[in-house]
């Protein structure tokens, strides 16, 4: 087991910092540090060794001999000039796709694919090789074919690509970084910048953290949708951010990356495709196959093939949502063909913006994916993990977990493999008080703080790691006290926020407990962000015996529990005062009822949270018992 020193929570210190800065976890100022997960010497500088280049498009006056098929070559670019020279060999066995068909290159590295008027052709990067990146570190492994260009769109879409070229060739270089069995894959949820002020928040926060890390150069960073907040003109600003990171940057689309003025799904992500990435694709590193899906369907598309009545419809003209979680028929067919080309012993990381299933929206039909059971069938028997964003919350759901909404809406009887919702760089949409480090606290509706998910992978197994923005990896918990006094204030403050008449109700010191509170139900709460089924939380008060806290959501088919009794009081005390969502539900909260016979005076609670991998994190909360309020 890994053990870390205790973090001390001073009730006085927390009360003071609530007035000055929210960049504090349990009284510790959040100082940006590099990840502590990778011991040993740091890898060489990414900037010095990055393979920079682009896809090679070959055109001649005569044009292609067969205009119905696109041909080309995948080659090893020995001189790194992105040009397939005569002496540079083709690479056999590389997967190439047009988004529908999937082929592999022959012994000379050649491929041949049917042509469609609107298609993106891309390769699956093989382990041991690296696709080029541009000056912004954005991976270059695809080519768009849209001869007449996009229809008129506010943000431009895809410019006319003209006639079919003679060849589209994909360069690669050998890479020990992508060959290694140990990989650290950064999953970045919901950057979601709505303006340049928020771009700067991201730069000072999570991007600054990534700039200080060197452990992810092989796998890189996958931004899992809502890269911007509807303003697609900010994509160049995002690419300026990724120019600062230390590895390839890849993207998949979210519901705020849409060309909302597109009238059909065919062109809904044209600007995203033009500037960042295909709408869906895959790549390999080590023994890992990463699939980046487009789980957003816009305009909302009815489930016309629904035969069992369990999955949602969106064909009500008056109440239909703008989008829904869905893979179109071409993408679903591509996924089946893509997986068929993957060795059974590889770990499959299935990434999308809208989660396959989620705790936060377990009763919502439009914030989960219609064809979840079809996707499960394609992955049956494989080692897999699903990662997603969208909910701006952190969820670490394990195999077998179940919520009632999944049963009712989709007929799912338990998760067949882990599902992780990765939190968000933007946290709760950059809300709340501005910290001393220049970005908002943005505490989420689950009580989680902004940050990044990393999958630490060895072979075909992984360990998940969440890094709070500006913190070291040892910061994994958040402690509070949920008392009758707190719950009364919660109700009064929420009512005042809805109708602010007179002075706002004050909570006072949240870590002072009265005798009357102890006579009622008062819990010490532990929000363990990566806590999951199989995790434990133990509490020792004043050095006494260790007592096990109880998880509020056992994930055994129950309804979601919502309200002040199930809330994170540390988070809510910030949110109801400084704005943002309210942490009135979470699947990673543990609580222990405080003894009613505690003596008056100061007390110390030492909390040890242990995750499913045996890693221990110790946190300390100081509180005081008084006779009268």
Tens of pLDDT, residues 70-121: 999 999 999 999 999 999 999 999 999 999 999 999 999 999 999 999 999 9
Higher pLDDT among residues 306 and 399, named by residue:
399
Q: Which residue has the tokens 């001189």?
A: 79
pLDDT at 195: 98
Q: For residues 34 and 209, what is the distance between their CA atoms, to the nearest angstrom?
A: 7
- The CA-atom distances, in angstroms, between 521 and each of 407, 516, 588 are 32, 10, 20
Q: How confident is the model at residue 30 (pLDDT cuts 50, 70, 90)?
A: very low
Coil vs helix vs strand at 570: helix
Biggest CA-to-CA distance, the chain: 92
The pLDDT of residue 418: 98
| Whether the predicted pLDDT of 3 surpasses 50 | no
- If one compares 311 and 628, the residue with the highest pLDDT of the two is 628
State residue 629's pLDDT score: 72
- C-alpha span between 411 and 404 (Å, rounded): 10
**Which phi and psi angles does 450 have, rounded to 5°?**
-55, 150
* 146, 158 Cβ separation under 8 angstroms: yes
Q: How far apart are CA 456 and CA 187, in angstroms?
A: 11
- pLDDT recorded at residue 317: 52
| Rounded average pLDDT over 434-452 | 96
Backbone angles phi, psi at 573, to 5 degrees: -60, -30
The confidence score (pLDDT) of residue 318 equals 54
Which among 230, 252, 251, 254 has a CA at the least distance from the CA of 242?
251
Name the packing angle between helices 569-578 and 11-20 (round to 10°): 30
Helix axes 484-498, 569-578, angle to 10 degrees: 20
Least confident interval from 247-256, 311-320, 414-423, 574-583: 311-320
Mean of pLDDT values over 329-337: 97
117-142 average pLDDT score: 98
Q: What is the mean pLDDT of residues 463-492?
A: 97
Q: Which of 475, 432, 476, 436 is nearest to 573 (CA)?
A: 432
Query: Of all residues in the chain, what percent carry a pLDDT higher than 90?
Result: 87
pTM over 0.85: yes
Buried b vs exposed e over 374-393: b needs ≥16 C-beta within 10 Å? Answer: ebbebbeebbbbbbbbbbbb
Residue 401 has pLDDT above 60, yes or no: yes
- 40, pLDDT greater than 80: no
Could you give the CA distance from residue 164 to residue 93 in angstroms, rounded to a whole number?
A: 24
Residue 5 reports pLDDT greater than 70:
no
Q: What's the pLDDT at 322?
A: 85
**Residue 532, Cβ density class (10 Å: 0-12 exposed, 13-18 middle, ≥19 buried):** buried
Tokens of 600: 């008056």
pLDDT of 411 above 90: yes
User: In this model, does residue 9 exceed pLDDT 70?
Assistant: no
- For residue 366, pLDDT over 80 is answered with yes
**Res. 310: pLDDT tops 90:** no
Task: Compute the distance between CA of residue 456 and CA of residue 67 in angstroms, rounded to an integer.
Answer: 45
């Amino acid at each position: 087991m890994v053990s870390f020193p205790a973090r001390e929570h001073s009730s006085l210190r927390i009360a003071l910092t609530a007035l000055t800065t929210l960049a504090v976890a349990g009284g510790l100022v959040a100082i940006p540090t590099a990840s502590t997960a990778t011991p040993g010497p740091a890898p060489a500088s990414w900037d010095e060794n990055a393979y920079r280049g682009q896809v090679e498009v070959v055109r001649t006056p005569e044009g292609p001999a067969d205009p119905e098929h696109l041909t080309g070559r995948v080659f090893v670019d020995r001189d790194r000039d992105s040009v397939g020279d005569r002496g540079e060999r083709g690479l056999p066995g590389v997967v190439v796709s047009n988004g529908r068909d999937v082929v592999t290159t022959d012994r000379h590295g050649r491929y041949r694919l049917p042509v469609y008027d609107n298609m993106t052709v891309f390769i699956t990067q093989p382990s041991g090789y690296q696709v080029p990146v541009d000056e912004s570190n954005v991976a270059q492994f695809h080519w768009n074919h849209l001869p007449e260009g996009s229809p008129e769109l506010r943000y431009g879409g895809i410019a006319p690509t003209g006639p079919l070229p003679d060849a589209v060739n994909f360069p690669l270089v050998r890479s020990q970084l992508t060959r290694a069995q140990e990989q650290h894959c950064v999953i970045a949820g919901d950057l979601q910048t709505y303006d340049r002020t928020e771009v700067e928040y991201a730069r000072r926060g999570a991007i600054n953290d990534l700039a200080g890390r060197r452990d992810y150069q092989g796998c890189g960073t996958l931004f899992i949708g809502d890269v911007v907040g509807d303003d697609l003109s900010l994509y160049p600003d995002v690419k300026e951010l990724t120019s600062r990171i230390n590895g390839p940057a890849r993207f998949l689309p979210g519901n705020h990356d849409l060309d909302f003025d597109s009238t059909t799904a065919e062109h809904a992500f044209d600007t995203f495709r033009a500037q960042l990435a295909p709408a869906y694709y895959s790549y390999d590193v080590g023994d890992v196959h990463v699939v980046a899906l487009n789980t957003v369907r816009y305009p909302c598309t009815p489930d016309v093939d629904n035969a069992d009545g369990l999955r949602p419809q969106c064909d009500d003209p008056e109440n239909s949502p703008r989008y829904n979680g869905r893979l179109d028929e071409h993408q679903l067919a591509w996924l089946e063909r893509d997986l068929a080309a993957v060795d059974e012993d590889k770990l499959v990381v299935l990434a999308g913006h809208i989660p396959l299933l989620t705790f936060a929206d377990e009763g919502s039909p439009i914030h989960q994916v219609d064809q979840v059971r079809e996707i499960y069938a394609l992955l049956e028997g494989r080692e897999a993990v699903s990662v997603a964003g969208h909910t701006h919350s952190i969820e670490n759901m394990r195999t077998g977990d179940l919520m009632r909404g999944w049963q009712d809406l989709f007929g799912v009887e338990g998760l067949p493999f882990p599902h992780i919702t990765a939190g968000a760089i933007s946290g709760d949409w950059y809300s709340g008080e501005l910290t001393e480090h220049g970005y908002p606290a943005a505490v989420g509706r689950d009580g989680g703080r902004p940050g990044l998910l990393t999958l630490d992978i060895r072979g075909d197994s992984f360990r998940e790691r969440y890094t709070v923005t500006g913190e070291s990896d040892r910061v994994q918990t958040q402690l509070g006290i949920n008392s009758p006094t707190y719950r009364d204030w919660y109700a009064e403050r929420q009512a005042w926020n809805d109708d602010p008449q007179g002075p706002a109700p004050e909570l006072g010191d949240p870590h002072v407990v009265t005798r009357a509170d102890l006579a009622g139900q008062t819990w010490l709460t532990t929000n363990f962000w990566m806590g999951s089924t199989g995790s434990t939380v133990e509490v020792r008060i004043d050095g006494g015996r260790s007592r096990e806290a109880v998880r509020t959501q056992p994930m055994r088919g129950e309804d979601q529990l919502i309200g002040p009794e199930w809330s994170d009081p540390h988070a809510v005390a910030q949110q109801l005062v400084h704005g943002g969502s309210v942490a009135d539900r979470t699947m990673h909260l543990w609580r222990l009822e405080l003894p009613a016979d505690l003596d008056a005076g100061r007390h110390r609670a030492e909390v040890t949270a242990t995750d499913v991998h045996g890693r221990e994190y110790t946190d300390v909360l100081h509180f005081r018992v008084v006779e009268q309020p």
